[in-house]
Structures are given as C-alpha cells and as structure tokens.
Amino acid sequence: MGLSLTTQQAKDIKLLARFTQVWCSGHRHQGRTAFPLPGSIRPVQLCATCAAFMNYAVTKRINCPLETEKPSCKHCRIHCYAVEQRALVKQIMAWSGRRMIMRGRLDYLWHYFF
C-alpha cells in the first residue's frame, strides 16, 4: 500500500499491529505470515483470522471521520467498530497490554486505546 499516513494514524496502526501480533503468537495461532502495513510501518506476523481483523482495523483507522478532533479511539464518541470487532479489539488490547507490562514495556500503558 503506497499510502501516506498522518503521524497519529501511523502511531495508532503500529500500536494496534504490535498488540495484535502479541495476541496472535501468544495464543499460538497457526499459519502466521507477514501482514503488510501501510506507510513505512514494518509488517507483523499474523494468522489468517488475525490478519482479517487487522485489515478491518487498519481500514477503520484510515477512514476515521473524526481525524482532526480525535482524542483516542477509547474515548471516541462514534465507536465505528461493529460489535464483534469491538469486543475482539478490547480483548486484544487488554490481554496483550498485560503481557507488554509484564515484559516491562510500561510505555505501552499510556497507549491503551480500547
């Protein structure tokens, strides 16, 4: 994807991709392959199911209608995700967030956005 992202879009997508990768490998999902990300973000390793979710999440983030006033997805007044994906992203962020913190990645603590 030769798409150029805003700094905030790149930050959010990168974070979400990292968390999804931790979730996917932590749950030992089978058949993980490189999932390409837009802009200059390095690809992450995801199974087919997580790749489908990530594709959804990237599309949603890129098409965010509140780009200019955006505080964070967690505090968004729209919540553009469908029920199923929203439940999944909350699970991913909470599970992977705990794991990151156990590994001493306290910097991620401030970035919970679901």
In sequence order, the 6+-apart residues with CB closer than 8 A to the CB of 10 are 39, 40, 41
# of chain residues touching Zn ion (CB under 5 A): 4
Q: What is the DSSP string of 32-98?
A: -EEE--STTPPPEEE-HHHHHHHHHHHHHHHT-TTGGG---GGG-SS--S-HHHHHHHHHHHHHHHH
Closest to Zn ion by CB, 50 or 100: 50
Residue keyed to tokens 């790149």 = 10
Which position among 11, 14, 29, 70 is part of the footprint of Zn ion (CB under 5 A)?
29
**How many residues belong to the chain?**
114
Q: Which stretch binds Zn ion (CB under 5 A): 5-13, 20-28, 64-72, 93-101?
A: 20-28
- Smallest gap from Cβ 52 to Zn ion, in A, equals 9
List the one residue from 47, 88, 92, 93 that touches Zn ion (CB under 5 A).
47
Give the nearest distance from C-beta 86 to Zn ion in angstroms. 18
Q: Name the residues that contact Zn ion, by CB under 5 A.
A: 24, 29, 47, 50
